[in-house]
Amino acid sequence: MATLFTTSLTHAGETEDKQQTRAVIEAQLEAFKQGDSAKAFSYATPNIQTMFGDADTFMQMVRDGYDVVYRPASVRFVKFETDGMNALHAVQMIDRQKTLWNVYYVLQKRPDGTWRISSCETEKAETNLI
């Protein structure tokens, strides 16, 4: 997923985009923590919402397939890239079993100017925690 973007993607509003997109990710993580499936679902793009149909189905998918995102023990934002309409956040998360993960969020800017999460991919980090 990280290969979709290059380090040359920059624009004037990058700092604002970085803050806004990070806030969306953090808000969705908080909604997962609170068990608020409707709120968590609201941060997904319309395509993702259509794919899963409803908030409860979406929340079940996250619980079953993305435990590190559903209940991270630790979250650290490590890299950001944007072209103004799409953004990539590389995030390191530690799960409840103390495993380190690289998590890649892609967000899309909506016509109303808000950002929504269009994908989230996880991979176990190659190094172990000490």
Tell me the per-residue pLDDT of 17-35, one tens digit each, with 9 for 90 and over.
Answer: 999 999 999 999 999 999 9
Mean pLDDT on 98-112:
96
pLDDT of amino acid 22:
98
On the question of pLDDT at 5 being above 70, the answer is: no
29, 53, 51: which is closest to 40 by C-alpha?
Answer: 29
Structural contact between residues 40 and 62, judged by C-beta atoms closer than 8 angstroms: yes
Give the type of residue at 36: D
Mean pLDDT on 85-99:
95
pLDDT of amino acid 128:
63
| Average pLDDT in the chain | 90
Predicted TM-score of the model (pTM): 0.87
